Protein backbone atom coordinates (compact mmCIF):
# COMPACT_ATOMS: atom_id res chain seq x y z
CA UNK A 1 0.00 0.00 0.00
CA UNK A 2 1.20 3.52 -0.78
CA UNK A 3 2.33 5.51 2.23
CA UNK A 4 -0.26 8.15 1.46
CA UNK A 5 -3.09 5.62 1.39
CA UNK A 6 -1.80 4.06 4.60
CA UNK A 7 -1.81 7.47 6.28
CA UNK A 8 -5.36 8.07 5.08
CA UNK A 9 -6.44 4.69 6.48
CA UNK A 10 -4.88 5.50 9.86
CA UNK A 11 -6.74 8.81 9.88
CA UNK A 12 -9.93 6.96 8.98
CA UNK A 13 -9.45 4.62 11.95
CA UNK A 14 -8.62 7.50 14.28
CA UNK A 15 -11.73 9.43 13.21
CA UNK A 16 -14.00 6.41 13.47
CA UNK A 17 -12.66 4.75 16.62
CA UNK A 18 -10.58 7.27 18.54
CA UNK A 19 -12.11 10.72 18.36
CA UNK A 20 -10.85 13.01 21.09
CA UNK A 21 -13.13 14.92 23.37
CA UNK A 22 -12.48 18.59 24.17
CA UNK A 23 -10.27 17.69 27.15
CA UNK A 24 -7.83 15.57 25.18
CA UNK A 25 -7.79 18.06 22.30
CA UNK A 26 -7.13 20.96 24.69
CA UNK A 27 -4.36 19.01 26.40
CA UNK A 28 -2.66 18.30 23.10
CA UNK A 29 -2.91 21.98 22.16
CA UNK A 30 -1.53 23.06 25.52
CA UNK A 31 1.41 20.65 25.31
CA UNK A 32 2.25 22.20 21.94
CA UNK A 33 1.96 25.75 23.30
CA UNK A 34 4.18 24.87 26.24
CA UNK A 35 6.81 23.41 23.91
CA UNK A 36 6.57 19.94 25.32
CA UNK A 37 8.40 17.45 23.09
CA UNK A 38 5.94 16.11 20.52
CA UNK A 39 6.22 12.53 21.71
CA UNK A 40 2.82 11.70 23.18
CA UNK A 41 0.94 8.67 21.86
CA UNK A 42 -1.57 9.21 19.08
CA UNK A 43 -5.32 9.06 19.68
CA UNK A 44 -5.57 5.65 18.03
CA UNK A 45 -2.77 4.37 20.27
CA UNK A 46 -4.67 5.76 23.24
CA UNK A 47 -7.70 3.81 22.06
CA UNK A 48 -5.57 0.68 21.60
CA UNK A 49 -4.36 1.05 25.20
CA UNK A 50 -7.99 1.20 26.30
CA UNK A 51 -8.87 -1.92 24.31
CA UNK A 52 -5.91 -3.79 25.81
CA UNK A 53 -6.72 -2.78 29.39
CA UNK A 54 -10.41 -3.61 28.99
CA UNK A 55 -9.61 -6.97 27.39
CA UNK A 56 -7.98 -8.19 30.60
CA UNK A 57 -10.27 -6.32 33.00
CA UNK A 58 -7.33 -4.27 34.24
CA UNK A 59 -7.81 -2.27 37.42
CA UNK A 60 -4.24 -1.84 38.69
CA UNK A 61 -1.96 -0.23 36.14
CA UNK A 62 1.42 1.50 36.14
CA UNK A 63 2.63 3.97 33.51
CA UNK A 64 6.24 5.10 33.24
CA UNK A 65 6.52 8.48 31.51
CA UNK A 66 3.43 10.64 32.03
CA UNK A 67 4.47 13.63 29.92
CA UNK A 68 1.32 15.81 29.98
CA UNK A 69 -1.03 13.00 30.94
CA UNK A 70 -2.46 12.35 27.48
CA UNK A 71 -2.06 8.54 27.57
CA UNK A 72 -2.95 8.51 31.28
CA UNK A 73 -6.35 10.03 30.52
CA UNK A 74 -7.01 7.47 27.78
CA UNK A 75 -6.02 4.64 30.14
CA UNK A 76 -7.75 6.09 33.20
CA UNK A 77 -11.01 6.12 31.26
CA UNK A 78 -10.67 2.37 30.66
CA UNK A 79 -10.46 1.56 34.37
CA UNK A 80 -13.36 0.58 36.63
CA UNK A 81 -14.46 3.15 39.23
CA UNK A 82 -12.28 1.55 41.89
CA UNK A 83 -9.31 1.12 39.54
CA UNK A 84 -5.98 2.83 39.92
CA UNK A 85 -3.36 4.02 37.45
CA UNK A 86 -0.09 5.16 38.98
CA UNK A 87 1.84 7.20 36.44
CA UNK A 88 5.43 8.29 36.99
CA UNK A 89 6.98 11.49 35.60
CA UNK A 90 10.36 12.92 36.42
CA UNK A 91 9.65 16.51 35.38
CA UNK A 92 7.50 18.47 37.82
CA UNK A 93 6.18 20.94 35.24
CA UNK A 94 4.88 18.09 33.11
CA UNK A 95 3.30 16.37 36.09
CA UNK A 96 1.60 19.66 37.00
CA UNK A 97 -0.10 19.93 33.61
CA UNK A 98 -1.04 16.26 33.76
CA UNK A 99 -2.59 16.75 37.19
CA UNK A 100 -4.69 19.67 35.97
CA UNK A 101 -6.05 17.69 33.03
CA UNK A 102 -6.60 14.51 35.01
CA UNK A 103 -8.69 16.60 37.40
CA UNK A 104 -10.61 18.19 34.52
CA UNK A 105 -11.29 14.68 33.19
CA UNK A 106 -12.74 13.72 36.58
CA UNK A 107 -10.09 11.05 37.06
CA UNK A 108 -8.21 12.34 40.11
CA UNK A 109 -9.42 9.39 42.20
CA UNK A 110 -8.26 6.88 39.60
CA UNK A 111 -5.04 8.41 38.21
CA UNK A 112 -2.22 9.15 40.63
CA UNK A 113 0.77 11.08 39.30
CA UNK A 114 4.07 10.50 41.07
CA UNK A 115 7.02 12.80 40.42
CA UNK A 116 10.34 10.98 40.46
CA UNK A 117 12.75 8.73 38.64
CA UNK A 118 10.91 5.64 37.47
CA UNK A 119 13.60 3.30 38.74
CA UNK A 120 13.29 4.64 42.27
CA UNK A 121 9.52 4.93 42.29
CA UNK A 122 9.19 1.33 41.08
CA UNK A 123 11.08 0.13 44.14
CA UNK A 124 8.23 1.50 46.22
CA UNK A 125 5.42 0.33 43.96
CA UNK A 126 6.37 -3.34 44.26
CA UNK A 127 4.70 -3.61 47.66
CA UNK A 128 1.28 -2.68 46.24
CA UNK A 129 1.44 -5.22 43.41
CA UNK A 130 0.94 -7.39 41.55
CA UNK A 131 -0.29 -5.23 38.69
CA UNK A 132 -2.56 -6.00 35.78
CA UNK A 133 -0.60 -3.96 33.26
CA UNK A 134 2.41 -1.70 32.86
CA UNK A 135 2.82 0.83 30.06
CA UNK A 136 6.47 1.77 29.56
CA UNK A 137 7.07 5.08 27.78
CA UNK A 138 9.95 6.66 29.71
CA UNK A 139 13.74 6.89 29.26
CA UNK A 140 14.70 4.29 26.70
CA UNK A 141 18.04 3.20 28.19
CA UNK A 142 16.25 1.82 31.24
CA UNK A 143 13.65 -0.27 29.38
CA UNK A 144 15.50 -3.54 30.21
CA UNK A 145 15.42 -2.80 33.92
CA UNK A 146 11.74 -1.82 33.69
CA UNK A 147 11.10 -5.17 32.03
CA UNK A 148 12.85 -6.95 34.89
CA UNK A 149 10.56 -5.16 37.32
CA UNK A 150 7.54 -6.23 35.27
CA UNK A 151 8.75 -9.83 35.44
CA UNK A 152 8.37 -9.66 39.22
CA UNK A 153 5.30 -7.47 39.50
CA UNK A 154 2.82 -8.15 36.69
CA UNK A 155 0.30 -10.92 37.29
CA UNK A 156 -0.20 -13.93 35.08
CA UNK A 157 -2.50 -12.91 32.22
CA UNK A 158 -1.36 -9.31 32.69
CA UNK A 159 0.21 -7.06 30.08
CA UNK A 160 3.55 -5.39 29.52
CA UNK A 161 3.16 -2.67 26.90
CA UNK A 162 5.98 -0.42 25.69
CA UNK A 163 6.15 2.49 23.28
CA UNK A 164 8.97 3.24 20.84
CA UNK A 165 9.94 -0.31 19.95
CA UNK A 166 11.29 1.06 16.65
CA UNK A 167 13.09 4.10 18.03
CA UNK A 168 12.38 5.85 14.71
CA UNK A 169 14.01 2.95 12.86
CA UNK A 170 17.29 3.22 14.72
CA UNK A 171 16.60 -0.16 16.31
CA UNK A 172 17.66 -1.66 12.96
CA UNK A 173 21.16 -0.25 13.35
CA UNK A 174 22.92 -2.97 15.32
CA UNK A 175 26.09 -0.87 15.43
CA UNK A 176 24.38 2.03 17.23
CA UNK A 177 25.98 2.86 20.54
CA UNK A 178 23.20 5.24 21.55
CA UNK A 179 22.15 4.11 25.05
CA UNK A 180 18.45 4.54 24.25
CA UNK A 181 18.66 2.51 21.06
CA UNK A 182 20.64 -0.18 22.86
CA UNK A 183 18.06 -0.22 25.65
CA UNK A 184 15.19 -0.71 23.23
CA UNK A 185 17.04 -3.42 21.27
CA UNK A 186 17.79 -5.29 24.47
CA UNK A 187 14.20 -4.87 25.63
CA UNK A 188 12.77 -6.19 22.35
CA UNK A 189 15.21 -9.11 22.28
CA UNK A 190 14.37 -10.12 25.82
CA UNK A 191 10.63 -9.75 25.30
CA UNK A 192 10.73 -11.85 22.11
CA UNK A 193 12.92 -14.57 23.59
CA UNK A 194 11.39 -14.99 27.02
CA UNK A 195 9.01 -17.96 27.19
CA UNK A 196 7.21 -16.30 30.10
CA UNK A 197 5.66 -13.89 27.58
CA UNK A 198 3.56 -14.13 24.45
CA UNK A 199 4.69 -10.97 22.71
CA UNK A 200 4.63 -8.91 19.54
CA UNK A 201 5.43 -5.43 18.28
CA UNK A 202 2.53 -3.72 16.54
CA UNK A 203 3.74 -1.27 13.87
CA UNK A 204 2.14 1.90 15.21
CA UNK A 205 3.73 5.36 14.87
CA UNK A 206 6.96 4.15 16.53
CA UNK A 207 6.14 0.52 17.34
CA UNK A 208 4.13 -0.65 20.33
CA UNK A 209 5.44 -3.77 22.06
CA UNK A 210 2.72 -5.86 23.69
CA UNK A 211 3.34 -8.91 25.86
CA UNK A 212 0.99 -11.11 27.85
CA UNK A 213 2.41 -12.85 30.92
CA UNK A 214 1.88 -16.60 30.39
* Interaction of residue 201 with ligand DHB, rule CB under 6 A: no
Question: Which one, 45 or 83, has the nearer CB to ligand DHB?
Answer: 45
3-state secondary structure 20-88: CCHHHHHHHHHHHHCCCCCCCCCHHHHHHHHHHHHHCCCCEEEEECCCCCHHHHHHHCCCCCCCEEEEE
Q: Are 200 and 208 in contact (CB under 8 A)?
A: no
Which of 163, 166, 188, 213 is close enough to bind Mg ion by CB under 5 A? 163
Question: Which one, 44 or 137, has the nearer CB to ligand DHB?
Answer: 137
* Interaction of residue 142 with ligand DHB, rule CB under 6 A: no
Stretch of 1-9, 45-53, 80-88, 158-166 contacting Mg ion, by CB under 5 A? 158-166
* Interaction of residue 163 with ligand DHB, rule CB under 6 A: yes
CA nearest to 136, candidates 65, 34, 56, 43: 65
* Interaction of residue 137 with Mg ion, rule CB under 5 A: yes
Stretch of 14-22, 54-62, 75-83, 164-172 contacting Mg ion, by CB under 5 A? 164-172
CA distance 92 to 80: 28
CB 187 → ligand DHB: shortest distance, Å? 13
Q: Are 191 and 147 in contact (CB under 8 A)?
A: yes
Task: Note the residues at the interface with ligand DHB (CB under 6 A).
Answer: 39, 137, 163-164, 206
Amino acid sequence: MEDEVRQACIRYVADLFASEDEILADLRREMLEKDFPRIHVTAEEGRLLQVLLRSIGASKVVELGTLGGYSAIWMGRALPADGRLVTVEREGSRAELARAYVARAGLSDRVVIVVGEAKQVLEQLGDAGPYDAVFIDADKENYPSYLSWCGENVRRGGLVIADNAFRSGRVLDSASDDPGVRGIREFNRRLAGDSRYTSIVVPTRDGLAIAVVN
